[in-house]
Amino acid sequence: MHRVHARLAALARPAAGFVSQPEPKTIGSFARGRQLVAGNFLFAGFLIEGKNASIWDLPVPDPRFEEEIHGCAWLDDLAAVADGPARQRAQDWIFDWIRRYRWGGGPGWTPDLTGRRLIRWINHAILLLNGRSRADSDAYFRCLGQQTIFLARRWRKAAPGLPRFEALTGLVYAGLALTGMERHVGPAAAALALECEREIDAEGGIPTRNPEELLEVFTLLTWAAAALADAGRSPQPAHLDAIDRIAPTLRALRHADGGLARFHG
């Protein structure tokens, strides 16, 4: 059903542009970015070498590998490099994604991956649109709008926990950033607050008890709260309370070297 909704969302009115120029809030690893430019693709613990290969043509050793590339968090790493070759890779791979998968193909049309992807596409808009044609820009905004509408219709199908937080944060982010998508912000922010009440316990923990997953949830909630505040909207109390509960829990889980404890269960 996700693919059907992706195709239907493509028929809706597209986003016309940004409400204001987005600034990158997610910058990744310079070293990983250099490796991507060199054709070394390390995702989900698997290293695939493919100099000059499109990221979408790589052999897939594991479903998690494919999920990571379709989530597009690797844009953070290319943005950390930000030179000509890194920008070219970012643009080539994103516009290739649009050509290949816009009509619902591929494994990327799940609510959590769509939310993750939307955040990165918006964050790195300057990197992606620099020097592109008007036709490319139109295709980019059309696909952003499509993914936003898809999320508005399908976020409830994301599994509770991190996947749903990713979906709802992406929807909040896109609703605030894209013209014509503002109507999705209020319902998404309310749903995000409700998920905070359901999933974040009184001690700032989550059901999986996975510290790294908790950090990801905390990061998403912080991004969403900042985006709402920057737009002149107040995050709901349950949203802010969840951030306040998680922060001391993460501090307690950190080792002296800054790393997180690795237990869960």
Per residue in 50-84, pLDDT tens?
988 899 999 999 999 999 999 999 999 999 999 99
Choice among 114-118, 155-159, 207-211, 258-262 with the minimum mean pLDDT: 258-262
- Residue ranges per domain, the chain? 2-253
Give the tens place of pLDDT for each residue, 76-100: 999 999 999 999 999 999 999 999 9
Give me the pLDDT at residue 117, please: 98
How far apart are the C-alpha atoms of 216 and 59, rounded to whole Å?
28
CB 158 within 8 Å of CB 111: yes
Give me the pLDDT at residue 22, please: 81
Angle subtended by helix axes 162-177 and 185-199, to nearest 10:
160
In CATH, which superfamily holds the domain spanning 2-253? Chondroitin AC/alginate lyase (1.50.10.100)
Computed over every residue of the chain, the mean pLDDT equals 92
How far apart are the C-alpha atoms of 87 and 59, rounded to whole Å?
23
Which DSSP state fits 225? H
**3-class secondary structure, 124:** coil
Give me the pLDDT at residue 257, please: 45
Residue 30 tokens, joined? 């310079």
